[in-house]
Amino acid sequence: MTFPGAIPTLTDGPVTLRAHRPSDVERSVEQSVDAESVRWTTVPTPYSLDDARDYIGSRARAWLEDTEWPFAVEVDRRFGGSVELRNEGPGRAEVAFGSHPDIRGTGAMERALRLLLAWGFEARSLTTVIWWAHAGNWASRKLAWKVGFSFDGCVRQWLPQRGEMRDAWVGTLLASEPLQPREAWEIAADR
Ligand SMILES: CC(C)(COP(=O)(O)OP(=O)(O)OC[C@H]1O[C@@H](n2cnc3c(N)ncnc32)[C@H](O)[C@@H]1OP(=O)(O)O)[C@@H](O)C(=O)NCCC(=O)NCCS
């Protein structure tokens, strides 16, 4: 594997997934200081340009070491966030995602996840993808629902965040399942 040469570029037209680039750093900082990113992820706070440079560098290493398969999300020729699959061993991966505030609510992340998941099932022969989110992260839960994840419940004090353990929502998506909601949101949100 060479970086970025061997990293696939995936596109559906409006949204493109590609390798991270040094020029993503400034918008990566904007994303990482956003209140929703701070609230629901483990992003360092405060967050500097050097943190973003380290993050972009770590994306290349992840591909080289085959531990994660991260992509930058490009919308209108601008960096719009990141999506990735974390390699959990043969057939298994964890999905992770976060968007720049200015692409939220546009459907771009839904498109990005469809591209990512289809690639993972096909190119990495995944059988099961798991989604974790801090309990209460409804934007994440709704996005996972849109692309077909089940909601499998809440695991108490499971996700570490800045020195504390947070309750975690969990769901799964299998290779045999369509990347579409499996039931109405009103039912899914009530589980
Ligand atoms: C999670 C994230 C990528 C989702 O992006 P997105 O799909 O563009 O969605 P939005 O942030 O605009 O929120 C979308 C949906 O969640 C719904 N939502 C948000 N907060 C909600 C709440 N408290 N209760 C119910 N629904 C809620 C919105 O109504 C919206 O639904 P709609 O698309 O049907 O109109 C984005 O919010 C983000 O980057 N958040 C910060 C980082 C993060 O949480 N990453 C995931 C970690 S597991």
pLDDT grade for 1, boundaries at 50, 70 and 90 = confident
Report residue 6's pLDDT band, with 50, 70 and 90 as the boundaries.
confident
Q: Each residue of 42-88: pLDDT tens digit?
A: 999 999 999 999 999 999 999 999 999 999 999 999 999 999 999 99
Q: Which of 142, 147, 185 best tests ligand 1's pocket when mutated (most atoms within 8 Å of CB)?
A: 142
Strands, E, within 2-58: which ranges? 10-11, 15-18
pLDDT at 3 over 80: no
Distance of CA 22 to the CA centre of its chain: 19
pLDDT confidence band for 103 (50 / 70 / 90): very high
> Does the beta carbon of 32 lie inside 6 Å of ligand 1?
no
* Phi, psi angles (nearest 5°) of residue 110: -65, -45
Q: What is the DSSP string of 68-108?
A: EEEEEEEETTEEEEEEEEEE-STTEEEEEEEE-GGGTTTTH
The reply to whether omega before 4 is within 30° of 0 (cis) is: yes
- Banded pLDDT at 89 (limits 50, 70, 90): very high
CATH of domain 10-188: 3.40.630.30
- Residue with the nearest Cα to atom 29 of ligand 1? 139
**Percentage, residues of the chain above pLDDT 70:** 100
Rounded to an integer, the average pLDDT of 9-30 is 98
Ligand 1 centroid from CA 5, angstroms: 32
Q: Compute the distance from residue 34 Cα to the ligand 1 centre, in Å.
A: 13
User: Are the C-beta atoms of 140 and 98 separated by less than 8 Å?
Assistant: no
Pairing of the two strands 128-134 and 92-99: parallel
pLDDT in tens, 160-169: 999 999 999 9
- Residues 174 and 178: their CA atoms lie apart, in Å, by 9
Q: What share of the chain is helix, strand, coil (3-state, %, to 5)?
A: 35, 30, 35
What are the residue ranges spanned by the domains of the chain? 10-188
